[in-house]
Structure 1
Amino acid sequence: MAVESAQTLERGLRLLRLLAETPGGLTPTELAAALNVSRPVVYRLIASLQNEGFARRDAAGRVLLGFGVVKLAQAVQPLLMAAAVPALRRLAEASGATAHLTVAEGGEGLAIAVVEPSWTNLHVAYRAGSRHPLSKGAAGLAILSLREGKPRIQATEGQLQEGARGVAAPITGLEWLEASVGIISFGDLDVSVAGPLVSEAAKELGEALDV
């Protein structure tokens, strides 16, 4: 019974991952093929997930993520913040710029952790909770480069705040997270210096979250 329960749980988690990777949803037949199980098994999984609010069906019968997943995501954010602060603090102190962790929420980037340098007289006041389109700003563009399968450092100027410059690197190697680590400053940001700093911070945070 324990083995069967573990197998059911694993299949349910794989099904949720498939739905997360397919915004338009999947049919039960497509899910059965992807999971290599029968349709009756898929229907039982879907029913269980629907009962908990983690899956839903649209008018065409396609299966999509349910809104119960949002509550889980909200619970994860404080954990991400706690893991990010040490790396962001080192980045802010080393660069003299405001450091931030930005995660993707659909087509937007959400800054969930921000650390300002302690030794500078002037720095950007960037608020945790700030949102912006992924197509604007270094943090969002770094996340888009990850989605495109070509993760790379991004640098921008004046896209989010007039006169502000940003440099960001995507966090790679985590299938469950689309995020970037970056810095923003009103001063000059030498990408040859700032780039390695944000890359190292992104790598450090990625390793900390890879559990």
Structure 2
Amino acid sequence: MAQDRVEAVERALSIMEAFDTQHESLSLAELAEATTLYKSTLLRLLGSLERYDYVQRDARGRYRLGATPARLARRHAPSRQLASLVIPVLERLSHDTGETAALLSCEENQMECRLSILPDTDLRHTLRPGYRWQWQAGDPRLALPGGAMTCQHIPGTTYWLSLSGPKGRLPVADARRALQEAATALSRRALQDYPT
């Protein structure tokens, strides 16, 4: 109902919606263009969103999603169940290969990282839940300058597994073998019962 609208809340939500893009961060000007809000209004709203870690501002003054949206999304019951099933598999993948292991989901032409485990090394690909990118049919890999990603579809689901890290560190054949084994194990565990 129109009388139930709270203008400031709707403006803040329009800022959050602007981050539904393939870009990892947005400038103030880009946010102003996406939301049609004045920069002065944006700065006030971004200050509140930043205090609650819905957004974060980097050293260049660009904004990206903070940790709160992903934390709240994980509290949804199917997400907790999905995590309890998949995290041990990702931990094993990351430990055995030394690379970043992730569960991805696809919707139309967008891939999204749902869960990830980072290896205990300084040189790694940092892929976090909630990160999205466009993909071409048949090739869901994220383009990584100086890095590589290998993906494996989990049969009977809309999910993919991935391994990513510095180019040349993990042979592609080894990555494919590890992903195939993990995908087979997960498909046997009725992963299709968990919504994306």
Query: 2:143 corresponds to which residue?
Result: 160
Aligned with 2:93: secondary structure?
helix
Gaps of 5+ in 1: 1-70, 143-155
Counterpart of 2:172 (choices 166, 191, 203) is: 191
Structure with the greater alpha carbon radius of gyration: 1
The whole-number CA distance in structure 2 between the counterparts of 1:80 and 1:134 is: 23
Q: Distance in 2 between matches of 1:79 and 1:96?
A: 26
Q: Report runs of 4+ in structure 1 exceeding 4 Å deviation.
A: none
Structure 1 residue 187: Cα displacement: 3.7
* Whole-Å separation in 2 of the counterparts to 1:203 and 1:130: 25
* Alignment CA distance shift 1:190-1:88 (3 Å): same
Q: What TM-score, normalized by structure 1, do the two folds share?
A: 0.50
Match of 1:20 in 2: none
- Residue 161 of structure 1, CA deviation: 2.5
Deviations 1:95-142 (A, max 9, x none): 110000001122211110000123x34211111111011328xxx725
Do the aligned residues in 2 keep the contact of 1:169 with 1:195 (CA within 8 Å)?
Answer: yes
Equivalent in the alignment of 1:76: 78
**Deviation of 1:75 (Å):** 5.0
Alignment size in residue pairs: 117
Determine the structure 2 residue equivalent to 1:98: 100
1:170 positional shift: 0.5
- The runs of 5 or more residues in structure 2 that have no matched partner are 1-72
One of 143, 146, 154 as aligned partner of 1:171: 154
Counterparts of 1:123 and 1:99, CA distance in 2: 11
| 8 A Cα contact 1:81 1:112, kept in partner | no
Whole-Å Cα distance in 1 between the matches of residues 116 and 190 of structure 2?
A: 17
